[in-house]
Amino acid sequence: MERLVTTAEAAEILGLSLQGIHYRIKKNQLKSLKQDGKTFVYINDNLIQHSNTQNVQETTNFDKLIEAKDEQIIILKKSIKWMRNQYVSEIERLEKNQKRIIEVFNSEIKLLQSAFNEMRAIYKPQIEKSVEKEEKKSEFITIKEFFMILKRANKTEAEIKNIIFKAIKNDDKRFIYNKTDKKLLILNDDFEDLI
């Protein structure tokens, strides 16, 4: 049995929105009639039963969808909790490793410091002696260097030899002559008085 109702009544009877009713009219799924600028829809009992069955089925599907969503949320919450625990345990493991590495580095630094102190104790006297030798070397010049200084002042070799003999004879402190070894040491000076 068919009856003619307004679109609003059809929406209420079928459990649809007004847009849903107009969509079904447009797709020729519902018979309609226009009178005085108003749209009326033909509704029969079979359509109401089918609509009720469809609404029940949609409700059941919707309930199943909500149930699946709730299960998914529970799984995701468990997964997040597990991941958080993994994250915390990994941070703790890394912090322990970092502490161990720092301890190893500190012990290595102590070993290097003690090794350095031992090496310094062993080699410091030798280094000081070599520095003293260098200083002593720089206090004296060679005979060749002395000759070069005086040659720059236009002295001949004979004049330079004569200057050296006179300086030794007059006990010039810049010229130290060892008679037994027959070696001459000349203190580093500008020698302006000899030039």
pLDDT tens column, 58-111: 667 778 888 889 999 999 999 999 999 999 999 999 999 999 999 999 999 999
Q: So what CATH class is 2-58?
A: mainly alpha
7, 12, 53, 77 from 58: Cα distances, Å: 22, 16, 8, 28
pLDDT tens track for 130-189: 666 555 556 889 889 989 988 988 999 999 999 988 988 998 889 988 888 888 888 888
Question: Where are the chain's structural domains?
Answer: 2-58, 142-187
Q: State yes or no: pLDDT of 21 exceeds 70.
A: yes
pTM confidence score: 0.31
pLDDT value for 50: 61
User: Which residues fall within 8 angstroms of residue 139, CB to CB, at 6 or more apart?
Assistant: 187, 188
**Predicted local distance difference test score (pLDDT) of residue 97:** 94
Of 55 and 85, the structure prediction assigns the larger pLDDT to 85
| More confident position, 188 or 46 | 188
- To 5 degrees, how large is the angle CA 6–CA 7–CA 9? 65
- The confidence band for 191, taking pLDDT boundaries of 50, 70 and 90, is confident
Under the banding of pLDDT at 50, 70 and 90, the label for residue 192 is confident
Q: What is the per-residue pLDDT for 101?
A: 94
User: For residues 16 and 14, what is the distance between their CA atoms, to the nearest angstrom?
Assistant: 6
112: left (phi over 0), alpha (psi -120 to 50) or beta: alpha
**3-class secondary structure, 108:** helix
Average pLDDT over residues 10-31: 89
